[in-house]
Structure 1
Amino acid sequence: MITLNRERGFEHVETWEEILQLPGFTLDLDPKAEELKEIIGRYMFRDKIACGLSVCRQPHGRGCIATTKSGKVTNIGNVCGKNHFGVKFDEFSRVFTQALTDHQNRETVASFQFRLDSLEAEVEELRTADRGADWVYRTTRALVQRNRGCPDSLVAAVGNMVRSRSGSIRVSRDATEEEAKELEVAAGRNLPRPQYVEEVQGVLRGLTCLYPEHDIREILVLDVEPNLAKLREMDAPAATSQELRFWSKWCGELEEKLDRARSAVEAGNVLLTRENLAQMFVTVHDPKQLTEFKKWLAKAVGS
C-alpha cells in the first residue's frame, strides 16, 4: 500500500512504478550530500523494496517517500531514515503522519455530514414513534424514581434488580423451622428467630432498558441530537487536529449508540406491559399502595 501527498491532496498509489516516475526520483541518494525537505508519502509491502539511500540499498517492507532541498525524491526505510537523518527525519515523519490522520478524519467527518438529514430524521422517528424512545423513558421513570406513581417498595425492588442485572423477582418470607436449622448448619452457629429466606416469584422481562448503558435520555437527548446539530455547523476543512480527532471518533461510535437506543426501546416495550409488570404486585404489601400502583399501571401501559 502506498499513500502519497500530492498538490491536490492525499491519494493511494496503485503501483511502485508510479513512484519511480515521480520527477526527480532517484534510487541512489547520498544522505551525506542531501538535506531532507519533507516526507510526502509512505509505503508498506509484503514484497520488500530496496532502500533508495546509496549507503544502504537493502530491501525494506515499509518506509517513506522523501524529498530533499535539491529537488531529489527517493524512498527511505524507517530505520535508515532515523540512522542517517536523525531528529529531522522523526520530525518530518510526525508531520506527515499528523497530516494524513487529519486528512482521514476530515474525510470521515465530511462524508458523515452528508448523512445528517437522514440521521436526524431517524432519531426523530425513534423518539416520537408510538411507544418510541420518549414514551419508554417517560413511562419507566415511575419504576426507578420515588414519588412518580409507583410504591417505594416496588421502586426499591426494581433498583435492586437493575444493580444485580437480574430480572428475578425475589420476595422475602419467614423461614420455616426446618429452613432455619439449615441456615444454622450453613452458618455453623445458632441463629435468632425469625430467619428469612427469599423466593423467586417471577422474572421481569425487558429489564435491560433500565441499565445505565441503555439510558435513552443520555444517549439521544444529551449526546446524539446536540452533537448532530454541532456537526451541521462544523467547518471540516478549517477544523483543528484535535477537533477532527474527536469528531471522527464520535462519528465512528454513533451507530453503536443508536443500536443501544433501539435495544432500549425494544426492551422497554417488553417491560411496559400490564402482564409483565403485574408480577411486581408481590413486592407491594400495603393494600392502599397496591391499589394506587394498579391505577398507575392501567393508565401508563393500558390493559
Structure 2
Amino acid sequence: MTQREATDAEIARAEAAIGRRLNRPRYLEESAGHVGYLDALNPENDLREMLVFDLDENLKAFSRLDIDQLSHVQLRHWAKWAGGVDGVLERAEAIVSKYRELLRPANLAAFGVLLSGYAEESQFNAFLKSLGEK
C-alpha cells in the first residue's frame, strides 16, 4: 500500500458522501500493485529440503541396503517410500512452476513503487531485464 494526498475532487466526493466537511490534508491509501505466487516462498515449498535431504539421503540409504537381508517391516517401509517418490517429484515440479511465475518480470514489477531515486530504479529495471520473459 502506498499513501498519497487526496485531490480536491476526491475530498469533495468524500465530504458529499458523509455530509460534513473534512480536515485537510487528507490522505488515501492505494494498492501499489499485486505480486502473485508469494506462497512459493513458504517453508513447505523448500526444494532443497525436499530433494536433497529427503530424496537424496533416502536414495543413498537405500543403495547401501542388501534387499535380500531386509525384514518384512523394512521392505514395507522402503516400498512405501519408493511409492511416494513420484508424488514428491510432481510436487517439486509444481513448486518450480510457482517459482517461475513468482520471478516473472511482470510479476515483480509491482515492487518498483517502493524504490526511491534513479539509481535504485535503474538497478531494479536491469534486474528485471536480466530475468527475461521466457
Whether these two folds match at TM > 0.5 is yes
Q: Determine if the alignment matches structure 1 residue 173 to structure 2 residue 6.
A: no
Matching of residues 1-303 of structure 1 within 5 Å = 171-174=1-4, 176=6, 198-240=29-71, 243-244=74-75, 246-299=77-130, 301-302=131-132
TM-score, normalization by structure 1: 0.33
C-alpha separation in 2, matches of 1:197 and 1:222: 48
Q: Secondary structure at the match of 1:173?
A: strand
C-alpha separation in 1, matches of 2:29 and 2:42: 23
C-alpha separation in 2, matches of 1:286 and 1:239: 66
Cα separation, partners in 2 of 1:230 and 1:285, compared to 1, 3 Å: same
What is the CA distance between 1:224 and its match in structure 2? 1.4
- Structure 1 unmatched ranges of 5 or more: 1-170, 182-193
Q: Secondary structure at the match of 2:31?
A: strand
Q: Which has the higher helix share?
A: 2
Deviations 1:171-224 (A, max 9, x none): 23157596xx9xxxxxxxxxxxx9976432333233333222222211112221
What is the CA distance between 1:257 and its match in structure 2? 1.6
Cα separation, partners in 2 of 1:241 and 1:267, compared to 1, 3 Å: same
Q: Say which structure, 1 or 2, has more relative contact order (CA 8 Å, 6+ apart).
A: 2
Cα separation, partners in 2 of 1:223 and 1:196, compared to 1, 3 Å: farther
TM-score, normalization by structure 2: 0.64
Cα separation, partners in 2 of 1:242 and 1:275, compared to 1, 3 Å: same
C-alpha separation in 2, matches of 1:246 and 1:233: 15
Q: Which has the higher strand share?
A: 1
> Given that residues 105 and 128 in structure 2 are in contact (C-alpha distance below 8 angstroms), is that contact kept between their aligned partners in structure 1?
yes
Residue in 2 that maps onto 1:68 = none
Give, as a single letter, the amino acid of the residue that structure 2 aligns with 1:302: G
Residue in 2 that maps onto 1:109 = none
Q: Secondary structure at the match of 1:251?
A: helix
Deviations 1:26-73 (A, max 9, x none): xxxxxxxxxxxxxxxxxxxxxxxxxxxxxxxxxxxxxxxxxxxxxxxx
Q: Secondary structure at the match of 2:33?
A: strand
> Given that residues 208 and 264 in structure 1 are in contact (C-alpha distance below 8 angstroms), is that contact kept between their aligned partners in structure 2?
no
Residue in 1 that maps onto 2:22 = none
> Given that residues 2 and 32 in structure 2 are in contact (C-alpha distance below 8 angstroms), is that contact kept between their aligned partners in structure 1?
no
> Given that residues 36 and 107 in structure 2 are in contact (C-alpha distance below 8 angstroms), is that contact kept between their aligned partners in structure 1?
yes
Q: Secondary structure at the match of 2:32?
A: strand
C-alpha separation in 2, matches of 1:199 and 1:252: 49
For these two proteins, the number of residue pairs brought into alignment is: 119
C-alpha separation in 1, matches of 2:4 and 2:87: 46
C-alpha separation in 1, matches of 2:43 and 2:26: 34
